[in-house]
């Protein structure tokens, strides 16, 4: 019961981070770099929190969820760097 | 002995990957994984710089805390402005280990408040940070009034 409550709390926090991190994309006033920072909140932190919540809800799928968490962390960071590098090139 | 440790670590890494991908730690699966791990070419594992790599991997362990802290810091900034700085490349990353270099970049970029955009020179990363416009103004004004 407690684990279910904790996992849903983490899941909600992850969903909140997803929404908070994704909405600034629509704002034209923000720079591409700020959008990359907020997307890190959404994609890395939000998604990882959701994966942690799922791990608590369904621990039998831990290998699958661990692979997902590692892949998410690596790809999000690498893509942030690539997009940041492309945007920072002198024109 | 050092080369044996390097080889063991490479094998351990490979077998961990195998077990995660196959989602099984049964003996038969481990044996199949071990055979496959030995069949994949090892490359030049002798050049693996353990003294640079292990501390970098250990530093990754504190990333979840930094990640959450910086997440809330970013959320509290209402008037964001771009701020580029130079961050020194970790001394271990400059020792010639490509993996240590990658982990250094990974640690900076993974947290929401900092983003590496490129390598400025051999000693520094060019890092983008988010600053609050009002805080930057507050810092600049006292300096101007002093003049």
Contacts with A22 from chain B: Cβ below 8 Å: none
A77 CB near a chain B CB, below 8 Å?
yes
Give yes or no: residues B31 and B100 share one domain.
no
Mean pLDDT (whole number) for B107-128: 90
Backbone dihedral region for residue B40 (phi beyond 0: left; psi -120 to 50: alpha; all else: beta): beta
Spell out a b/e string for B50-77, using b for 16 or more CB atoms within 10 Å of the CB, else e. eebbeebeeeeeeeeeebbebbeebeeb
- CB-CB under 8 Å, A45 with B20: no
A68 CB near a chain B CB, below 8 Å?
no
Give yes or no: residues B138 and B90 share one domain.
yes
Mean pLDDT (whole number) for B111-132: 89
What is the distance between the alpha carbons of residues B11 and B113, in angstroms, rounded to a whole number? 35
Whether A53 has a pLDDT exceeding 90, the answer reads yes
pLDDT in tens, A11-35: 999 999 999 999 988 888 888 999 9
Give yes or no: residues B41 and B88 share one domain.
no
Give yes or no: residues B81 and B42 share one domain.
no
Q: In which domain, by residue range, is B28 found?
A: 1-48
Q: Which pTM was predicted? A: 0.84
Give yes or no: residues B76 and B137 share one domain.
yes
The ipTM, to two decimals, is: 0.86
pLDDT in tens, A65-74: 999 999 999 9
Contacts with A44 from chain B: Cβ below 8 Å: 67, 110, 112
Query: Is residue B103 one of the residues assigned to a domain?
Result: yes
Give yes or no: residues B74 and B112 share one domain.
yes
Whether B116 has a pLDDT exceeding 80, the answer reads yes
Q: In which domain, by residue range, is A33 found?
A: 2-87
Q: Give the pLDDT of residue B147.
A: 60
- CB-CB under 8 Å, A45 with B71: yes
Domain count, chain B: 2
Of all residues in chain A, the one with the smallest CA distance to B115 is A81
Instruction: Quote the tokens at residue B59.
Output: 């530093």
Contacts with B105 from chain A: Cβ below 8 Å: 81
């Amino acid at each position: 019961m407690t684990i279910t409550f904790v996992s849903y709390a983490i899941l909600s926090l992850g969903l909140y981070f997803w929404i908070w991190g994704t909405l600034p994309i629509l704002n034209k006033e923000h720079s591409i770099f700020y959008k990359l920072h907020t997307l890190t909140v959404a994609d890395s932190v939000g998604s990882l929190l959701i994966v942690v919540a799922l791990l608590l809800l369904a621990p039998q799928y831990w290998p699958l969820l661990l692979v997902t968490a590692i892949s998410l962390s690596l790809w999000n960071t690498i893509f942030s760097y690539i997009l940041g590098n492309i945007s920072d090139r002198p024109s | 002995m050092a080369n044996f440790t390097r080889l063991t670590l490479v094998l351990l890494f490979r077998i961990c990957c195998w077990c995660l991908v196959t989602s099984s730690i049964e003996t038969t699966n481990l044996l199949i994984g071990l055979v496959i791990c030995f069949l994949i070419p090892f490359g030049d594992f002798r050049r693996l710089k353990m003294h640079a790599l292990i501390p970098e991997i250990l530093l990754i362990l504190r990333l979840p805390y930094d990640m959450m802290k910086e997440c809330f810091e970013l959320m509290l900034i209402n008037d964001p402005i771009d701020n580029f700085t130079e961050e020194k490349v970790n001394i271990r990353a400059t020792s010639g280990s490509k993996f240590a270099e990658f982990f250094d970049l990974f640690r900076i970029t993974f947290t929401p408040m900092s983003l590496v955009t490129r390598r400025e020179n051999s000693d520094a990363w060019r890092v983008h940070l988010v600053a609050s416009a009002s805080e930057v103004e507050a810092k600049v004004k006292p300096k101007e009034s002093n003049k």
